[in-house]
Structure 1
Amino acid sequence: MTQRVRTQRIHRKGGRRVSEAERGTDVPGVTRPLTSRQRQAAARREEILKTALGLFAAQGFDATSTKQIAREVGIAEGLVFHYFPTKAGLLAAVLEARLEGGRAFRSVLRPLLEEASDRPAAEVLGAVASGWLATLRRDEEIVVVLFTTAQTNPEVWEAWQGLIREGTELLTGYLAARVEAGELREDLPLETAATMFVSSLMVFFLTRRHLPEPQWREQGEAHARELVSVWLDGARA
């Protein structure tokens, strides 16, 4: 068998010979290292995204100006538009970066539910409720931006609905397995039951998110327990 050998061109740099791979040129399989200017631009873009997210969450998308975002970052307003041509484009970039970065609820629920079809609902649903509330708390800013902006922005509404949908679909699959196992009643409306469970957690978060951390934990744990208890009273076979 003939082995294909990659040749490397040799160049001069600072009086010594360097290969194309070392230079970071377009060699297959080799990533060109970022220049200091590119690293600075990436860091500034991330700072704009982070600042915009915080302001959108605190005072709303409509009430936040690009001038205010620029002032908080410490740059000229024109530089914001260099990275994001429009304010709507900035919002879209914020949502994309934060939602794709976490796939928040899916990453929490999938490990809990996909391998849990043979475990009792009381045990699994308690973990789901606690995990969901913890994720809402961790990603509070992006959840608030989604919820408040979705009321007037159709694209954000779709993203908000997608966030809810990804959780309810996973939960519906688990509930179907527990119906088949005989733990939950046969006529349980699976999608409605899952939506009610998730909606209760969302309402709790939106009405309690301003609580200090100790109170949040205490009330969140109590809500998760009570939700599972009440939900199971109506769902058990």
Structure 2
Amino acid sequence: MKQKKSLRFKIITGIAIFLIMIASSFFIYVSFYYKASTLALSTLKSDSVVKVEENGDILFTPVSNKKNIGFIFYPGGKVEASAYAPIAKEIASKGYTVVIAEMNFNLAVLSPNKADSIINKYKEVDTWIIGGHSLGGVMAASYAYEHNEIKGLVLLASYPQSSKDFSKSDIKVLSLWGSNDKVADLNKVKEANKLMPSSAEFIELKGGNHGGFGDYGHQKGDGDATITNEEQMREASEYIIKLLEKLQ
């Protein structure tokens, strides 16, 4: 009997140690992430054109000429949400509500349906598009695939899962990537056009890289950009604004 109890104790102890090791590894992994840099942080301030509010998610509201169209943005994996403020604020300056979603542990895969709460909260917006960078784009695509009310999809250095076929959908799609991106699988980024409507736009930003869609410094393993991330974000913003204009 004592031997059985001893064996049971050892098994339970072993399982407990194993679970603690897994939990510790996870928290160590998520504790290191890319933080927003100076340009992004300076963009988080309200001005005469765009009001900025941080309430978990980051809301960019046009002060005037406000349209009833909104853009929900899912950040890249392990990237601080505020790193994408420059793109969000530029889009909002043209009259569109923009919400950068705050993800649990900065991982969109842990909050794939975060758009639900955003859409329910801002009911004055009646037309939504969704998009994301890298892993955030993958999860944004999955959300758009499962929610017909989403009218547009923006992918930055990203692509949908192969099971998400939008080819028969009337959703507006924009896919952008940097020519010097060494993080994303650019073959998959480009080949995703097979999953998209014929009207989808696939555009390479010359000189851009993976991390240039946000302001968070150089991403490990990325290629060197020949344009500044400020230039890359401005170029991306212009293309996204053109997509939004098609929904008016």
TM-score between both structures, scaled by the size of structure 1: 0.31
Higher helix content, 1 or 2:
1
Higher strand content, 1 or 2:
2
TM-score between both structures, scaled by the size of structure 2: 0.30
Larger Rg, first or second structure (1 or 2): 1
